[in-house]
Amino acid sequence: MKKTPVFIERLSTGIPGLDEVLGGGLPEFSFNLVAGAPGCGKTTLAHQIMFANANEQRSALYFTILGEPPLKMLRYQQQFDFFDQDKIDSSIRFIHLGQDLIEGGLKRVLDRIIFEVDASSPSLVFVDSFRSIVRDGHPSGVGDLDVAHFVQLLAIHLTSCEATTFLLGEFLEQDANTNPIFTVADGVLWLYQTPIRNSVVRRLQVQKIRGQQEIPGFHTVKLSKTGARVFPRLPSPENPPIDQGATKLPVKRTGIKGLDKMLGGGIPAGYSVMVAGPSGSGKTVLSTQFIVEGVKAGEPGVIAIFEKRPEEYLKTSPQGKTLNDLTRAEQIKLIYIRPLDLSVDETLEEVRSEVKRLGAKRVVVDSLSGFELALAPAFREDFRESLYRMVGALTSMGVTVMMTVEITDTFDELRLSPHGISFLTDGIILQRYTELGGALQKVMTVIKLRAKKHSTKLFAFEIGEKGITVGKALTGYQGILSGGAKPSGKGRR
């Protein structure tokens, strides 16, 4: 007979993104440690979980000890939207144990917690903050328990009481190797707050969570009036990844006849394509034509812009009026993100939610240079990795992604991107300037398009009121990419 494993109920944390990072929520009756330095958001996280879960059937006890005074805690936590005062003293009870610790040490604190838990049988128990007990365990020399014993007894008792428990503690990272609490805990959540240059980055790491698979690594956390929000580093794929070798994928027309021809019909669905070129070469024009063409084909689109404000973007784009109309008609969403302390995950989450909301099939990121600049310095360091994750997450949703990137025309080398990211994309369209017949001529070519036949010729193009028009292939010239095209072979007169 097949043995069925015990079913573990999982509690939703009520914190957007955290359930996903935890691998499906918090196991019921688990003993969890929320660790981090002061001010990193432990209390907010705990309160948000408590207010999301506490109700008439599932009561919560929140023990405060010597950390943040409860009066201050209530004052400041009320500022968050999740704080529901109707639950205070009904489904949520606060119990301050400062006096117990001072008068009776850890033994008294343990007895009191056990007494209160036995008396009301709560489903959720929070002890805030635990480090303060450890540090100030015997302030008056009273008490007869050491910390390890105290933690063990507390863990055993709370688990047997069928309560999901959270100990909040100000720990150092090295404590994780030596402190017995980390061994006893079923779940360990670390919160970090790191100031880097002019930005502050909050992150969360699930160090362990028994019985389920968490998403490893550091995840960005944002605190706002609505509370904490976690941006998973690796969002769950929405659809199975596209087989890049497949040649029968439907293609997405760009809206530029000549370019579609160069691309062998268009961009395969679910591909990521980079449009690289110097300033003013027409990258934005190309990408907006791509988005507008999508709408014509019944595919809404999302444009994430980082440099220009939406009004400016709409005003200066040759397709501005059309874009404006389509934005109003909710066919295109223009996302403007410019704070300088962004994480890639936040941007990705914003783009993902708009893609889902609109049912978008095309996304433009304009531009990667602006995107990198909008990131907090800490995230710029691993820009390549972040971009890889973002592109992967979007294409796994079946979305075709076009990213613009500005390159400097040096004429003595062929650079495709300043970030060394060209290998991350499935396709590259390159725009350049060249001197031809005493005038500056824009040229365009398709550098790569994975698993698809495409033109490798260089084509002249113009930008007019209606956008880009691709001209003839410059087959009779050489030295185009070095900036000065000269007739060669048949082209030589």
Partner 1 sequence: MTSIDPLLSAVFRPLVRTETGERISTSEQGVELVKRLRQSLLKVIAPIVGEAAFEALFSRSLKKTKVAFLAPAKIESGGPAASEMTKFCESLKTQSATQIEEIVVSLLSSFTGLLSTFIGEALTWKLMRNTWPDVLPSEKPVGEKP
Q: Interface residues with partner 1 (CB under 8 A)?
A: 64, 69-72, 74-75, 78, 85-86, 88-89, 93-96, 98-99
SS3 430: strand
For 482, which DSSP code?
G
Quote the CA–CA distance of 126 and 91 in Å, as a whole number. Answer: 14
Cβ at position 142, least distance to partner 1 in Å: 17
- Least distance from partner 1 to the Cβ atom of residue 103, Å: 11
| Residues 375-393: b if buried by 16+ CB within 10 A, e if exposed | bbebbeeebeebbbbbbbb
The helix or strand, by DSSP H or E, that contains position 126, with its residue range, turns out to be strand 124-128
Alpha helices in 203-316 (DSSP H): 257-262, 283-296, 310-316
Q: Which is nearer to partner 1, 86 or 413 (CB)?
A: 86
Give the shortest CB-86-to-partner 1 separation in angstroms.
8
443: phi then psi, degrees, rounded to nearest 5: -130, 155
Nearer to partner 1, 75 or 472 (CB): 75
Least distance CB 68 / partner 1 (angstroms):
10
Place of tokens 């205070």: 88
Nearer to partner 1, 102 or 473 (CB): 102
Give backbone dihedrals phi and psi of 286, rounded to 5 degrees, phi first: -60, -45
Residue 217 CB contacts under 8 Å (≥ 6 apart), including other chains: 205, 233, 234
What are the CA-CA distances from residue 207 to residues 32, 41, 187, 191, 204 (Å)? 11, 17, 7, 10, 9
For the CB of residue 93, give the shortest distance to partner 1 in the complex, in Å: 7
Measured from the CB atom, the residue of 69 and 377 that comes closer to partner 1 is: 69
Tell me the closest approach of the beta carbon of residue 74 to partner 1, in angstroms. Answer: 5
Burial class of 267 by CB neighbour count within 10 A (0 to 12, 13 to 18, 19+): buried
Helix-strand-coil split of the chain, %, nearest 5: 35, 30, 40
With respect to partner 1, which residue has the nearer C-beta, 66 or 158? 66
Q: Report the candidate in 186, 237, 196, 239 with the shortest Cα–Cα distance to residue 220.
A: 196
* 37 or 102: CB nearest partner 1: 102
State which residue, 85 or 247, has the beta carbon closest to partner 1.
85
**Cβ-based nearer residue to partner 1, 1 or 119:** 119
Nearer Cβ to partner 1, position 130 or 190? 130
Q: Are strands 272-277 and 267-268 parallel, antiparallel or unpaired?
A: unpaired
Smallest gap from Cβ 96 to partner 1, in A, equals 4
The Cα–Cα gap between 273 and 427 comes to 4
Q: Which is nearer to partner 1, 101 or 391 (CB)?
A: 101
Residues 136 and 170 sit within 8 Å (Cβ to Cβ): no
CB of 37 to partner 1, least distance (A): 23
Q: Minimal distance in Å, beta carbon 72 to partner 1?
A: 8
Measured from the CB of residue 73, what is the shortest distance to partner 1 in angstroms?
9
The SS3 of residue 286 is helix
We find the least distance from the C-beta atom of residue 69 to partner 1, in angstroms, to be 6
83 or 218, CB closer to partner 1? 83
Reference 437, options 490, 408, 463, 476; nearest CA is 476
Listed in sequence order, the residues at least 6 apart from 167 whose beta carbon sits closer than 8 Å to its beta carbon are 31, 32, 33, 34, 127, 130, 151, 154, 181, 185
CB of 143 to partner 1, least distance (A): 19
**Token representation of residue 373:** 């600049």
* DSSP states along 307-336: SS-HHHHHHHSTTHHHHHHHHHTTSEEEEE
Closer Cβ to partner 1, 71 or 297, answer by number:
71
418 close to 405: Cβ distance less than 8 angstroms: yes
